[in-house]
Amino acid sequence: MNSDDWPVVDPLPSYGHGRELPGGRHRSLIYGRNLTDVVITGNNGTIDGQGSIWWNNFWNKTLNYTRPHLVELMNSTGVLISNVTFMNSPFWTIHPVYCSHVTIQNVTIIAPLSSPNTDGINPDSSDNVCIEDCYISTGDDLISIKSGWDGYGISFGRPSTNINIRRLIGKTTSAGIAIGSEMSGGVSEVHAEDIYIFDSHSAIRIKTSPGRGGYVRNVYISNMILVNVDIAIRFTGLYGEHPDDTYDPDALPVIERITIKDVIGEKVKRAGLIQGIKGDNFVNICLSNITLNVSKKLPWNCSYVKGYSDLVSPEACEPLRERIFPEHCSDCYYLPNHLKSLSNQNWGAWLLS
């Protein structure tokens, strides 16, 4: 493989420069822009990105430009990716950016757990995205929802919204479902349900930092099974990583109305590591019906966060301990309309179907 065979294209305007290095970035193996009605499908055939050479260049610090994704579609509408196995991406595996009406279903994504930044599916400044019935095992976040980086993302101003994730199974050295850290254009209306995460570092992760601006709001994650996960819920307010020195440290992100409901976990080391930003609390974080078998003596570590909880074991940290019902239902995203009887939960049935 000769990296010169991979054209260098302009950085994304919402990022300002390549994600890894200043300047441009290598174009993805499968690439399209300004398209309508795109179908990538194939009877579970395999597309192998042969990423190991790129990973070695990353580790050896011999990259000249940001690594290519395996699939990137820009400014496109009506995208269907289904019944394909993607392996060994050089960088992020599937990257719809500035796209609308994207469906990714029955897709398998595999890369070594040691491979750097081989995220599975990263919807980026995109809307009306449906990801369902996927198996992902990679060296970084299984799904990471993004919307631009610091001032470039703020000025570009295209959020990711209406993101639906259903029936995801996977493992990773990073997070199962992540938002950020590049979220400066805003992320909202994220619904994820029927998720099985095993042998992973964390299950749910929100990453942000002073300088990002933007917001993450109206997120609802439910019906989640965790097995052998280090940290079930992790919010990081001081993630760092800036494109350059022009960012405004006073551009603080708004993190609010995050609901996590109906989670069971075995062999979990820590229930939650939830760290907001001093002077910029993460608010209306709501936890309901969560039961985790936790090994750490101090299962929760929370700072600069405010929210509510019901039926959480081990008991939530003090800033989240106030009861949801009945006073705070309206503060919690999506809860009032979704008060199913707990006795009707059929854990694991979807896994066996």
Based on DSSP, count helices (H) and strands (E) in the chain, helices before strands: 3, 19
Least confident of 131-135, 230-234, 242-246, 342-346: 342-346
Q: What is the mean predicted confidence (pLDDT) over 330-342?
A: 67
Q: Which residues contact 2 (CB under 8 A, 6 or more apart)?
A: none
Q: What is the mean predicted confidence (pLDDT) over 175-199?
A: 98
Percent of the chain whose predicted confidence (pLDDT) is above 90: 92
Residue 13 or residue 326, greater confidence: 13
Q: Is residue 329 part of a domain?
A: yes
Q: Is residue 318 part of a domain?
A: yes
Q: Residues 216, 179: contact at Cβ < 8 Å?
A: yes
Q: Global pTM?
A: 0.95
Percent helix, percent strand, percent coil in the chain, to nearest 5: 10, 50, 40
Grade residue 352 by pLDDT with cuts at 50, 70 and 90: low
Tokens, residue 306: 């405010």
Asked whether residue 353 carries a pLDDT value surpassing 60, the answer given is no
Grade residue 340 by pLDDT with cuts at 50, 70 and 90: very low
Residue type, 276: G
CA atoms of 25 and 125, how far apart (whole Å): 18
Asked whether residue 343 carries a pLDDT value surpassing 50, the answer given is no
Q: What is the mean predicted confidence (pLDDT) over 4-20?
A: 95
Residue type, 185: G
pLDDT tens-digit map of 39-60:
999 998 999 999 999 999 999 9
Q: Among this protein's residues, is 133 annotated catalytic?
A: no
Say which CATH number the domain at 68 has: 2.160.20.10
Q: Residues 119, 147: contact at Cβ < 8 Å?
A: no
Grade residue 347 by pLDDT with cuts at 50, 70 and 90: very low
Number of domains forming the structure of the chain: 1
Q: Is residue 78 part of a domain?
A: yes
Grade residue 83 by pLDDT with cuts at 50, 70 and 90: very high
Collapsed DSSP state (helix, strand, coil) of residue 329: helix
Q: Is residue 199 part of a domain?
A: yes
Q: Is residue 348 part of a domain?
A: no
Among 189, 178, 181, 177, which Cα is nearest to 211's?
181
pLDDT tens-digit map of 281-294:
999 999 999 999 99
CA atoms of 326 and 217, how far apart (whole Å): 22
Q: Residues 72, 31: contact at Cβ < 8 Å?
A: yes
Residue 3: predicted pLDDT: 81
pLDDT tens-digit map of 206-220:
999 999 999 999 999
Residue 350: predicted pLDDT: 52
Among 58, 139, 49, 142, which Cα is nearest to 87's?
49
- CB neighbour burial string for 25-57, b if at least 16 within 10 angstroms, e if fewer: bbbbbbbeeeeeebebeeeeeebebebeebbeb
Asked whether residue 85 carries a pLDDT value surpassing 70, the answer given is yes
CA atoms of 73 and 320, how far apart (whole Å): 40
Collapsed DSSP state (helix, strand, coil) of residue 56: helix
Collapsed DSSP state (helix, strand, coil) of residue 4: helix
Collapsed DSSP state (helix, strand, coil) of residue 149: coil
CA atoms of 293 and 288, how far apart (whole Å): 16
> Chain-wide mean pLDDT for the chain?
95
- How many CA atoms lie less than 13 Å away from 207 in the CB half-sphere? 25
pLDDT tens-digit map of 87-102:
999 999 999 999 999 9
Q: Please pick, among 140, 141, 194, 262, the residue that the annotation labels catalytic.
A: 140
Q: Is residue 353 part of a domain?
A: no
Q: What is the mean predicted confidence (pLDDT) over 176-192?
A: 98
Residue 351: predicted pLDDT: 58
Q: Is residue 150 part of a domain?
A: yes
Q: Residues 15, 182: contact at Cβ < 8 Å?
A: yes
Q: Which domain holds residue 64?
A: 3-341
Grade residue 4 by pLDDT with cuts at 50, 70 and 90: confident
Dihedral sign for Cα atoms in the order 309, 311, 317, 321: positive
Q: Is residue 198 part of a domain?
A: yes
CA atoms of 311 and 320, how far apart (whole Å): 12
Least confident of 66-80, 160-174, 203-217, 323-337: 323-337
CA atoms of 71 and 148, how far apart (whole Å): 18
With 0-12 CB in 10 A as exposed, 13-18 as middle and 19+ as buried, what is 293?
A: middle
Tokens, residue 127: 């809307």
Residue 344: predicted pLDDT: 41
